[in-house]
Amino acid sequence: MTVRERTEEIERITLSPFATLSENSRGRAVPEKPCPLRPCFQRDRDRIIHCKAFRRLKQKTQVFLSPEGDHYRTRLTHTLEVSQIARTIARALRLNEDLTEAIALAHDLGHTPFGHAGERALNRLCPGGFKHYEQSVRVVTKLEKDGSGLNLTWEVLNGIVTHTRGEWAATREGRVVRFADHIAYMNHDIEDAVTAGVLRNEDIPAEITSVLGSTKSERITSLIMAIVEHGAEDIGMDAERAAAYEALHDFMYSTVYVDKVAKKEEQKVDKLIRELYAYFKDTPTHMPQAFLYIMWQEGVDRAVTDYISGMSDEYATSTFESLFVPQKWQIL
């Protein structure tokens, strides 16, 4: 028996009847020989961590654009917090932690520079619109590894594309990640907003704090416990904590996410993305060779969208400056 086979046996013995067993995966688009060490979902997790798109998350906005200070979240730290919360829930419910973690680590790989401001800008420019969760699937199936993709399992791809809204994931692990994503961003965005001075803890309505708690730790723990206590068969929460969860969501979207101080720079994002999009659409040969292959196969709009959406905040800004901002004359 190989190490992988022994791990799969442990899954059969220890995981919940509602868990997704590695040996029961629907497989990959391109069949591969099983790894002697790692079950398929662990193998996916490793591929995601080592891919280029994952590394770029460290310089992509979460909420506050290019914040000054070491302790604000980036898209990478958000992703790690989602993974931690999702794994905590999965372990408590005896679900497949490897599958849960793989989905969590990959869920935002397709996010644009400058967070949702960049996503909205590309959505207006790209024919057919732009959704970061769809782009995340495209990253792992098409763009990574010089166009060959990561060849992830069906279950991971399904969890990625359903992590935000609409149809729920086919697996309980994917449904856990959707909750973990919301729990993570609402609570860490509160902390960042308080640090930035655009929110006070006492601003959070009493109807929320009386149910979930008044600190980040209390709220996260309360929401995790709500899901765990609800059970693995139907991933969800009891009515009281679900209502408080929705109220917290509504509160954040009516305060922090529309705050004029926090969002005042976002109008500049629209101009930056529009200018880059127009430039590379007019002169596509100035894009890297890999995106020219995409242009020949799928059209220039698709290639430009892939190129810009993959940029970090810093790279997008420096590219804009090199193209449109006069450079200082240097005497040699």
Are 150 and 271 members of one domain? no
CA separation for the pair 301, 294 (Å, rounded): 10
> Tokens 């729990």 identify what position?
183
In the chain, what is the greatest distance between 2 CA atoms, to the nearest angstrom?
72
pLDDT computed for residue 68 by the predictor: 56
* Within a domain: 49: yes
Structure tokens at 242: 């679900």
Name the nearest CA neighbour of 179 among 262, 85, 279. 85
Q: Enter the pTM of the model.
A: 0.94
Are 161 and 281 members of one domain? no
32 class by beta-carbon count within 10 Å (0-12 exposed, 13-18 middle, 19+ buried): exposed
pLDDT digits (tens, 9 = 90+) for 87-128: 999 999 999 999 999 999 999 999 999 988 999 999 999 999
Total structural domains within the chain: 2
Domain end among 213, 241, 263: 263
- Block means of pLDDT (10 residues each) for the chain, 332 residues, are 97 98 98 97 98 94 60 84 98 98 98 92 96 97 96 98 94 98 92 84 95 95 98 98 96 80 76 97 97 97 98 95 85 68
* Within a domain: 110: yes
pLDDT digits (tens, 9 = 90+) for 235-287: 999 999 999 999 999 998 888 877 666 566 778 899 999 999 999 999 999 99
Q: Which structural domain range is residue 306 located in?
A: 266-324
Structure tokens at 215: 């600190």
pLDDT computed for residue 93 by the predictor: 98
The answer to whether the beta carbons of residues 102 and 251 sit under 8 Å apart is no
Are 193 and 279 members of one domain? no
* Angle made by CA atoms 108, 115, 148, in degrees to the nearest 5: 40
Q: What is the DSSP string of 232-273?
A: SSS----HHHHHHHHHHHHHHHHTGGG-HHHHTTHHHHHHHH
Are 259 and 282 members of one domain? no
Are 115 and 229 members of one domain? yes
* Within a domain: 331: no
* Within a domain: 330: no
* Within a domain: 234: yes
